[in-house]
Structure 1
């Protein structure tokens, strides 16, 4: 009885001002009938009831109460209902592939049904009895719709190709969804890249990020400016409401104060964009790395001669500047047990294999030996001089030469000490690997690098401080790791190994990083 009272009056979540579509009252009564709660039924996850009462929203353990009222769910044949809404890029291929793999791993039967192109269901049932266990309902549209459904309490999970906007996070907090900017409210499911593509016959092979922004702003409108034919440039992007188009605006256009030209042709699906570029020898588009068809990918270069091409490895390490993390957002409430198990599965090694097979970039760390990083060390040699001395380069080679670089990298938001979204996810990934003992008996070194602006000595100190910050974040997240079984160190080489030119905000952002090296 005392436990029940505690569950009621010290409920897990207490939220105010939540709106609901259909009001159905229920009564939760303790086994001895001495305590009861009456309110509007909000949901049941197989273990806990959510009820809106005069005290606010309460989450109550179902094992200590009896439910009375027409809205009470069946406890015998309970079916977990999970609604997922958002980016079509994730909803049409990635999430279905992961659900089917999750079902196969757990010996569940899978049945898929369609309402229309954007709406479909996945039903999971027990492989032996055939009893339906869960129904995953999808609304596959765009990132804007995903957040709108989440804020309206019409979705349990939002799929997005961009981070939540501050206005959306504010509305979510006011609606009782919790702090949607908190790391516990989102996760990076997989990685993608925004890649400039042209038709295979186009003679132009590379553009700088600034030139690319100028092209899509309409400031450069003829290929002859890049040594191509004397022909107008036709622009192609995704619809403005898509997360991919919004990521292009955030990462490519806004840093240089540009906006996308009104003459840009917009597409609802990435495959439509790629097909349009393929058919037009004078077209350029920014497409998803996972689906470029037979188009030609342009390299991003700079005046200093460094060049970056989108690849699985450069996207995973964020060395390629236009990365596009694929997010899942969920509110501060319990999801059904099977949904929580599915989300845990998406971080497993087998799920990373599924992510790779469907064409996206997984987050499984890879170890890259020094002999596969010749271009990076060549960059280091090219900037040697008064600021980067031969002695410092020798120190770097002696320190890193016997080690391997982990593809898990860390970068900070522009003008901020806060890690960017992909790096915050990397903290959790690396922390779980430490807890699992994957790097026991090894040495990890967090190595800081900087851009080339300012004095070399000062840049090295800044880079060292960033490396220490990342190490502290990973150690704090790895709560159950046995740090007696491994060695963790920090070092920094400042501007000694640039990945891109310092002549743009994008290049400087790529160069400011913390890498993880292993021995």
Structure 2
């Protein structure tokens, strides 16, 4: 009987990776004495034990067993500990603000400790008794080190400025972290954007994506090719070990592309980057919206007349193409209750306000009135091809004019039917809003758009299928929502409302999207 029940424990509670404690032998015994499990204690989260046993790695509910042995934790004075590692942009700037707000909300006292130049920690204690209940530690390294610490069991959560790469995903599976591409394993904490910047004295006001890529790979080296002075371009990027430096290359030259020019000056952080670029009239650099400082942002332009800057709404809707989400990567295991509460708080509307005040773009949905979108409809008319007739434009205005556009937009990875990282996060955000009843008794319309490559009719059909795909994904994620209370519709207008020029791959990528409109 005992062996059967232990086997059931193994089948039900085998988890992936755990943060190791100093492994010590313990014995867990059920209160009726029928079940006894011995092994090395790997961790305790205040509710569940994690053991390395002859049956494999088991996770056992602490309420049903008693722990015996020198390694057993103190159940009365348990302290939840969580280690974050990775991008300083997240750990040094954003997380402190969020922890302070979380402490105020939970009525906790919080004390900051500067452990070293690259490590800070926050101790949370109850306000009434002063008992220590949690400790969050942040290792301020870089995106690569964040993933490495996660894979080596030296951190619970990786803070990154890019998505995990294929080798990191495979290593994570091998290390028992689970599939980091599954829902819940990667969270978009906030949004940022990559922007091309120059000194304020530089006369150039815009640059195309193609020109930016040519500067990066060394084919374009003089400002006169951009309408500026006859002077060499001094190219500046973040260090190649940072997530921003890697994302700059990934987004413009592809994941395997490497700048062929040797004329790049690298910078370890945003302060150093901004100081150098702001005073060099011939500098051109790539940084993030949150780290712009005194530099001047160049608009992303196109031959058809579009010009895009990384405004807050353009980033939130992904109308601006070089978005840069801030990620938290979590292993497939259970966290202590206090840690779970903090992670849940990060999706709260009050946390989104903290994110915005910290200089980043939040993910709280906003509704944009139709009269605030005149430029989009003007572009739709100006760029309408011969196949997009007046009748279709009138139908689009008739359908959308009573509605408001949500900033929640969905786009797909290049050459793929898979939603991109920001859009996958949007699925979870919108699904949670549906579960909370925020759109009950309202009309929700998923509207598909396409690029202009090909005939208008097939493009509209493709856009409609994309809208249906997104609608189904949101419905599946909203498991507890009563969708009967919402009027959900799907429509598509194909290439009728472009957001960028169709003469480049990035422009076509921006135009392929699913928007959400509400009434």
Q: Given the two structures, how large is their TM-score scaled by the length of structure 2? A: 0.96
Preserved CA contact (<8 Å) 1:28 1:67 = yes
Shift of 1:19: 10
Name 1:450's counterpart in structure 2.
Answer: 450
Matched, 1:347 2:347: yes
Preserved CA contact (<8 Å) 1:409 1:426 = yes
SS in 2 for 1:252: helix
Shift of 1:180: 1.0
Name 1:74's counterpart in structure 2.
Answer: 74
Root-mean-square deviation over aligned CA pairs? 1.8
Q: Distance in 1 between matches of 2:53 and 2:145?
A: 29
Shift of 1:266: 1.2
Aligned length: 518
Q: Distance in 1 between matches of 2:429 and 2:397?
A: 28
Preserved CA contact (<8 Å) 1:199 1:283 = yes
Higher mean C-alpha deviation, range 200-209 or range 217-226: 217-226
Q: Distance in 2 between matches of 1:400 and 1:135?
A: 49
Shift of 1:484: 2.1
SS in 2 for 1:290: helix
Name 1:187's counterpart in structure 2.
Answer: 187
Q: Distance in 1 between matches of 2:54 and 2:72?
A: 19
Name 2:330's counterpart in structure 1.
Answer: 330
Shift of 1:138: 0.8
Q: How does 1:53-452 map to 2 (within 5 A)?
A: 53-254=53-254, 259=259, 261-452=261-452
C-alpha change, 1:135 and 1:460, in structure 2 (3 Å) is same
C-alpha change, 1:79 and 1:258, in structure 2 (3 Å) is closer
Q: Deviations over 1:388-411 (max 9, x none)?
A: 111111111111111110000000
SS in 1 for 2:484: helix
- Structure 2: runs of 5 or more not aligned: none
Preserved CA contact (<8 Å) 2:197 2:285 = yes
Shift of 1:265: 1.2
C-alpha change, 1:7 and 1:89, in structure 2 (3 Å) is farther
Higher mean C-alpha deviation, range 176-185 or range 329-338: 176-185
Name 1:468's counterpart in structure 2.
Answer: 468
Preserved CA contact (<8 Å) 2:81 2:134 = yes
C-alpha change, 1:258 and 1:158, in structure 2 (3 Å) is closer
Q: Deviations over 1:480-499 (max 9, x none)?
A: 11222220101101001000
Higher mean C-alpha deviation, range 466-475 or range 63-72: 63-72
Shift of 1:256: 10
Shift of 1:271: 1.8
Preserved CA contact (<8 Å) 2:15 2:333 = no
Q: Distance in 2 between matches of 1:281 and 1:311?
A: 24
SS in 1 for 2:116: coil
Q: Distance in 2 between matches of 1:365 and 1:148?
A: 34
C-alpha change, 1:432 and 1:271, in structure 2 (3 Å) is same
Matched, 1:501 2:466: no
Higher mean C-alpha deviation, range 270-279 or range 23-32: 23-32
Shift of 1:436: 1.1
SS in 2 for 1:434: helix
Q: Distance in 2 between matches of 1:145 and 1:305?
A: 42
Q: Distance in 1 between matches of 2:8 and 2:131?
A: 31
Shift of 1:69: 2.8
Q: Distance in 2 between matches of 1:113 and 1:260?
A: 43
Matched, 1:12 2:13: yes
Q: Distance in 2 between matches of 1:269 and 1:70?
A: 46
C-alpha change, 1:129 and 1:22, in structure 2 (3 Å) is closer
C-alpha change, 1:255 and 1:505, in structure 2 (3 Å) is farther
Q: Distance in 1 between matches of 2:385 and 2:192?
A: 36
Higher mean C-alpha deviation, range 486-495 or range 4-13: 4-13
- Structure 1: runs of 5 or more not aligned: none
C-alpha change, 1:438 and 1:19, in structure 2 (3 Å) is closer
Shift of 1:7: 6.5
